[in-house]
Structure 1
């Protein structure tokens, strides 16, 4: 029984990091539903205004894309970057008009190799993604690279102590102290405002970083 449970939890953890296949469709729905409050809070914290260029990096089920599109308005641009080809295909089928108009631009990529130009974003969000990337300094340096001076990056993460009690996190999750993430952002030139979001069953932390001008 323990072996079966371990395989199930390992499969779930792998899907959370890279949703794919038949299971990935269910995981996408679960991500949108479970992360809804955290994503909404991240979008609000990014303080995006009409006409700006914003991004959801590691957008998963895609809930953040519609929120960002509403924020930037008809003259703004939203970039969506995702590691999973299946989630990219899902987003492409869900936003045909926005893709055709150029308001939404989707690309495959990782947090350590973003397919975006230097200083090209006014704001970016990434929620529940950094658990799956070993090199935190590289992530923060890349986030700082693509955001313009004075621009904002919001990283949303589940409370690490609470996350450590979840049955799937031993299988590939890297749970870092919040202070370590704040320090890595600071090292990349982005001072941080830390907000806490009570979000049962997992409280979240929003790290709102502003790139130095």
Structure 2
């Protein structure tokens, strides 16, 4: 049986939604993101090496699975910040975590990676997973992300295998797919020391770029 071609307009809509879930489709896309990204996000949180008392952030948290994991990983008095440009995803996160928001354990910010609402060195760690495709100027965004890390703190950038991503029809719409080496170079240019990890037994491959700011945590 011949395959029925998928209209490009559907991939255009999907690409737009993946970059910022919103409207009637936003909830569905958020659930899809949470399911598809659960393992990489969990690995990114683990890579932070948290003790439970830190101030951390998920930059571009989308469906919010990273917020769930960071709240669990900072359950000894830590604080979680969620940074997201989509007002619909911010509203979804507030609805999902009313007690954490009310207690000040979770703070939500409408912002992008290129303009973070934190002082220099304010965070003990951050994750950002499948977000750099939507960053116009990677150097500016990563310098900003590095700026908010405390000495000795880590930031983790997660990206899918670029060759695989570039073949996806939705990636033609609003995505900038960069080689892993380019992202590593941009991270290193901020002064971070970068370790490249690849999640094992996953197809397509997924890359975690763990950047550590030189110095000792206070």
TM-score by length of 2: 0.94
Aligned residues between the structures: 212
Match of 2:90 among 76, 85, 88: 88
Gaps spanning 5+ residues in structure 2: where?
none
Retained in 2: the 8 A contact 1:55–1:121? Answer: yes
Distance 2:152 2:111 in 1: 24
Matched, 1:207 2:215: no
Superposed, 1:8-87 pairs within 5 Å as 8-87=10-89
Matched, 1:102 2:104: yes
Distance 1:102 1:148 in 2: 21
What displacement does 1:202 show?
3.0
Distance 2:134 2:208 in 1: 17
Distance 1:129 1:120 in 2: 21
Quickly say closer, same or farther: Cα 1:42–1:179, change in 2 above 3 A: same
Matched, 1:171 2:173: yes
Q: Counterpart of 1:168 in 2: which secondary structure?
A: helix
TM-score by length of 1: 0.96
2:154 is matched with 152
What displacement does 1:98 show?
0.5
Q: Counterpart of 2:155 in 1: which secondary structure?
A: strand
Distance 1:198 1:166 in 2: 22
RMSD between aligned residues:
1.3
What displacement does 1:74 show?
3.7
Match of 1:117 among 111, 116, 119: 119
Distance 1:153 1:72 in 2: 16
